[in-house]
Amino acid sequence: MRDHFELRDGDLAGRIGRLSVPRAGVTVETPALLPVVNPNIDTISPARLESEFGADILITNSYIIKTNEHLREEALDVGLHEMLDFDGAIMTDSGSFQLAEYGEIDTTTEEILQFQRDIGTDIATPVDIPTPPDADREQAEADLEITKRALADAEAADTGEMLVNAPVQGSTYPDLREEAGRHADATDLDVFPVGAVVPMMNAYRYDDMVDAVAAAKRGLGVDAPVHLFGAGHPMMLALAVALGCDLFDSAAYALYARDGRYLTVRGTEHLEDLEYLPCTCPICTEYSPDDLRAAGSKEQEQLLAEHNLHVTFAELRRIKQAIRDGDLMELVEERARSHPAMLDGYRALLDHVDQLEREDPASKGAFFYASNESAHRPEVARHHARMDRLTAEGHVLLTEGGTPSGDDFDATWRVVPPFGPFPRSLSETYPLTAEVPERLDRDAYEQAARGVSRLVEENPDATFTLAHDDWPESALARVPESVELESLSTVSERLGDEASSEGDDEGDAGDERDEGDSDGLSDE
């Protein structure tokens, strides 16, 4: 186990953790945002990031500092913390971003790690190769080998108390990402950034981002703190946390502000298009859109950057509370409705349901069925697997509520879409207490039918009758042919007709008795 990272709580693959950074003497609660600080541009000072926004960790670029004579001399003279005026933990990048952008840099892993140690970096980064999405496999494999050599050089370096990143590359090849994660996890390095995902996010390829991170996570151990390099838009943080990412860095707050763009959890707005500010942060309560537009360019940039940070930190707090409450999936689903590409990302997340289920807590708060995607949540997969432990014997009725007439059953189990069948004694256990709408979608019924099919397959000596409430044909087609089907509406209609018929007969007999009684009374 990595003793510098402690897991405190979890939901899905998301977790609240404590990352100890010994060189800084601080412990960072994760999920955490590392605001990117450009040492050449002072949009919001690191001291304000700490005092006003609560940032206890940030990231800057050691290669930029190393290649700028003035910055290099100052950093070597007074140290990074004093130069930036920041008491929290400082992570530094190595120049790999510049390598990806410009094709070459003038440093090696050994040189840049030594420089990072000399200037007082708390979490350092080797020179890895960020292979872009859709690179041909030969290039991705060759780049990955170079990155592996960089990790070996980092292991061999004398880094003292400085933590060191072990980047996970592999482009858009899940098997390479998994291999890279497994290789990085086997090193004695400390933090595990998933790299080269920024081009995917810039192109709104959130489904590809999810697949890349999920593959990397399969190779990494549960105790590995995962950093999603270059991710920091509030819209996608819940999705990334649900995948198991712990650290995020972003220059978006500043870059978007420079472009007059206003971040929200539903996307990005242009200031020029806003009549109202849909936020309650200090900037949005003090200023109107007209006020911001009337400000000078420098002031406007700073105010927008402050808003962008406020909304991003607020979203991280919201995510942490969702983890505590056990309803992170509900938040992910809500955010997924903000953009079609986010919905693609959410659906890609559910493609990895078996992987999520292994880390998702077995019991938590409420399960709210909010869309057809809810039918594919980890809780449903876990319920189907759990039913394999139970035995059904004799003639078993599986029913949504009613009982077919004229049949004797050895046992009666409930059936609730999307979960499927279960003994009545489990009715009040999570997730079978789920809140579901009256008008369920096809996916819910089809998942329930899969549950029925699995129960039948696991209990070949039992016989089953399914009393359903008018399930769609697509769901009934998934029920094994050996199961006797009966619609509850038909049963109810038949029972109603029988009751009505019996009532009529009793009414006729009653009329005759009444008449007889009347006659008798008359005779008296």
Binding-site positions for substrate read 128, 196
**CA gap 321, 331 in Å, rounded:** 10
Annotated binding-site positions:
128, 196, 279, 281, 284
Nearest C-alpha neighbor of 32 from the set 41, 20, 24 = 20
Rounded CA-CA distance 344/337 in Å is: 10
Instruction: Give the list of residues 6+ apart from residue 371 with CB closer than 8 angstroms, or none.
Output: 333, 441
Which one, of 362, 367, 364, 334, lies nearest residue 435 by Cα?
367
Amino acid at 43: T
- Kindly compute the dihedral angle of the four CA atoms of residues 242, 243, 247, 251, in this order, to the nearest 10 degrees: -90
Other CB atoms within a 10 A radius of the CB of residue 278 amount to 12
Q: Which residues are annotated as a binding site for Zn(2+)?
A: 279, 281, 284
Using DSSP, state whether 395 is helix, strand or coil. strand
| Burial class (CB within 10 angstroms; exposed 0-12, middle 13-18, buried 19+) of 68 | middle
Cβ-contact 135, 212 below 8 angstroms: no
For 78, the 3-state DSSP assignment is helix
Catalytic residue ranges: 93
Query: How many whole angstroms separate alpha carbon 462 and alpha carbon 391?
Result: 9
Q: Identify whether 46 is preceded by a cis peptide bond (ω within 30 of 0).
A: no
Q: Which residues pair with 427 in a beta bridge?
A: none
Q: Distance (Å, rounded) from C-alpha 386 to C-alpha 381?
A: 9
- The Cα 54–Cα 58 span in angstroms is 11
DSSP characters over 37-50 = --TT--SS-HHHHH
DSSP type of residue 392: -
Rounded Cα gap, residues 43 and 436, in angstroms: 47
**Phi/psi at 72 (nearest 5 deg)?**
-60, -45
Q: Provide the pairing of β-strand 32-35 with 247-250.
A: parallel
Burial 415-433 (b: 16+ CB within 10 A, else e): bbbbbbbbeeebeeebbee
The distance of Cα 412 from the centroid of its chain, to the nearest Å, equals 37
Cα 128–chain centre separation: 27
CB count within 10 Å of CB 312 equals: 23
